[in-house]
Structure 1
């Protein structure tokens, strides 16, 4: 007997189309706000955001253009670069630094107006389908800032890197203790779910399960 393959009722989040569908559309931006707030819990709260151009030209014609998956600006002026990378990339940290550096360079005010060097906060957020460090296969969430290597004092609050490593996330539905846990579980298991389950916060996830998401 031929095995029946279960197909999802919902658009796969971890696809280019699904990523833009759930997080990149104005009518669904509450999903992105909720997702980002789950990462920033205890650190910052976003109440609103607007989408920005995902393409960034180099300052010179010879420089390579950068294209972000999603770029948005919070109501407090903070900038978010939101990436999904499922395939292994050897120099992913280099990519993260390149993206944030390009953004910061663009945000720096020119001339006398920039003498104070004040910048808005910049967050690089990535959902990864590969392990950053194969020797540490239990770590599914990285949160980094510029810190002093001796006493871990945060030297610069305005630059943050948040990375979710899906292969290392192995919690069951009964172990989901935070909204971030619930987002990671949903990203890995949406194709196995037919309707909004009671272990996901209905206030946060109801829009994922509305009829327009059915394929």
Structure 2
């Protein structure tokens, strides 16, 4: 999940925001309509498994981020975000399209090879190195090499989005696609310690249609930020507790020579814990009003935290 909180949350945010059944109507349908509505009807969606496992031991597993299917047209929509630069990202998107097509090929007798339409959206958080700085969207489809207006089967669509270029783009009028691209580029700044107040949102997101989406995004980010901070604190404080207890034991041993080894060791450990609590509260002063939360994070007694706060 990798280099920086923003990258972590942007990647996980895609799956949490766009890949949940409860977000189908408010998020998934309008999102996919914004990117694929010019190619197909999207009236409903069913969330599908995103685990395309290889058929043999040597076959490669394909694990896209989010997969939805339109029940009436049977069209399958695969969305994949790549944060770190990848030399073969276009190859990966092509592999996803091929694997998805094979997974959704209907079994049956006879020579019925009718395929479902496959739409693969690749979101790259790096420069794709295609065309000029003003071109950030690339749409691909199989067609007659000589007669470019003739599609092969009209069922194999791929779209690549260069998110850094899209972030620079400042259209005079924002389409629904532009709004979603802004959200994708700024998702990690919504909620938690990266909160964007409603008054600071750009005007094109205040027309009412994105209110529910923003509410969901902010809530997800708060949850993810809390989980992330808990993980970081657990790792950091584990080391601090061990180091503090060692310092306390040494100090306790010195005191123990005069007052008794057992009593000195106990006092040394308590001193180490109190020092650790003080340093923690200096780093996170907002938690001074939540001694039980501090106690839970540090693995100490809440009364000890309170005694440090009142000292």
TM over 0.5: yes
**Is the contact made by 1:171 and 1:185 (CA closer than 8 Å) also made in structure 2?**
no
Q: Pick one of 166, 169, 172 that aligns with 1:171.
A: 169
Q: Pick one of 146, 149, 155 that aligns with 1:150.
A: 146
What is the deviation of 1:201? 6.0
Q: How many angstroms apart in 1 are the aligned matches of 2:104 and 2:39?
A: 22
1:141-166 deviations in Å (ceiling 9; x for gaps): 11111022333122221010012111
Give the TM-score normalised by the residue count of structure 1: 0.83
Equivalent residues in 2 for 1:132-211, closer than 5 Å: 132-153=128-149, 154-169=151-166, 170-172=168-170, 175-190=172-187, 191=189, 193-195=196-198, 197-200=202-205, 202-210=207-215
Equivalent residues in 2 for 1:60-79, closer than 5 Å: 60-75=56-71, 76-79=73-76
Q: How many angstroms apart in 2 are the aligned matches of 1:166 and 1:13?
A: 16
More strand by share: 1
1:155-195 deviations in Å (ceiling 9; x for gaps): 221010012111112223x6243110111122223427322
How many residue pairs were aligned?
A: 204
More helix by share: 2
Give the TM-score normalised by the residue count of structure 2: 0.59
* Runs (5+) with no aligned partner, structure 1: 1-10
**Is the contact made by 1:120 and 1:158 (CA closer than 8 Å) also made in structure 2?**
yes
* Runs (5+) with no aligned partner, structure 2: 1-5, 190-194, 223-311
What is the deviation of 1:117? 0.8
Equivalent residues in 2 for 1:37-56, closer than 5 Å: 37-56=33-52
SS at match of 1:184: helix
**Is the contact made by 2:138 and 2:161 (CA closer than 8 Å) also made in structure 1?**
yes
**Is the contact made by 1:14 and 1:187 (CA closer than 8 Å) also made in structure 2?**
no
Q: Which has the higher contact order (CA 8 A, sep 6+)?
A: 1
Over aligned residues, Cα RMSD in angstroms?
2.5
Does the C-alpha gap of structure 1 residues 64 and 183 become closer, same or farther in structure 2, counting only changes over 3 Å?
Answer: same
Does the C-alpha gap of structure 1 residues 202 and 47 become closer, same or farther in structure 2, counting only changes over 3 Å?
Answer: farther
1:212 aligns with 2:209: no
Q: How many angstroms apart in 2 are the aligned matches of 1:95 and 1:20?
A: 18
Q: How many angstroms apart in 2 are the aligned matches of 1:163 and 1:29?
A: 23
